Amino acid sequence: MTIDLHCFGESGNAYKAALALELSGLDWRPVFVDFFGGETRSAAWRAAVNPMGEVPVMVDGDLRLTQSGVIQDYAVEKSGRLGGADPAERREIWRWVLWDNHKLSSQAGMTRFLMNFLPEDKRPQPVIDFAQARLRAAYAVLNAHLQGRDWLVGRSVTVADLSCCGYLYYPEPFGFDRAEWPEIDRWLTTLQSLDGWKHPYDLMPRSAA
């Protein structure tokens, strides 16, 4: 049975889930969600798809999962790929997934939204400046960890990598320049070389807005 992933191309969190499904080799398809048209804020969508009003949402038969990290973990469980070599690596993977959700993606997603998807006169510059400073601290942690490593955990790609890269391929400006972070740049290039890797706007349908 084909897995459905409710998503849209601009969502970095949806990209994490989509990339995990794609690289794990599972049979899946994107189901476009019109976020910018207000679909996730409608009572009907929340009742039928996700009461949290968020993407991604994965549906595999009778199973429905939300939150990118949970969907990534399901892709690992179902495919046997991307999950680390042993329990110690599994714990380290979760450490990086949780770090990303708290320190990197949450800040990057908000900052990118404020800078690109709000009318210019409604963009709160002090908030953007504060978030970009926090992001630079996160980039520094990630860049330092990647010195001498191809992957965040172990000797092959895992969902730790797919979580932490979630927002870093997007072209819209939010204060991240790959050239400033050579280890991150090298890692992102290595990820791009993987068989099956796709840019978020190629992997998921993009909003017309």
Closest CA to 58 of 12, 22, 9, 7: 7
The CATH code for residues 3-81+197-203 is 3.40.30.10
Q: For residue 139, give the amino acid letter.
A: Y
Instruction: Read off the pTM.
Output: 0.96
Domain boundaries, the chain: 3-81+197-203, 87-192
Tell me: the pLDDT tens digits for 31-86?
Answer: 999 999 999 999 999 999 999 999 999 999 999 999 999 999 999 999 999 999 99
Query: In whole angstroms, how far apart are CA 97 and each of 94, 126, 150?
Result: 5, 28, 17
Residues 121, 83: Cα–Cα separation, whole Å: 44
Q: Give percent of the chain above pLDDT 90.
A: 99
Q: Which pLDDT score, from 0 to 100, does residue 146 have? A: 98
Question: In the chain, which stretches have pLDDT less than 70?
Answer: 209
CATH 1.20.1560.10 is held by the domain 87-192? no
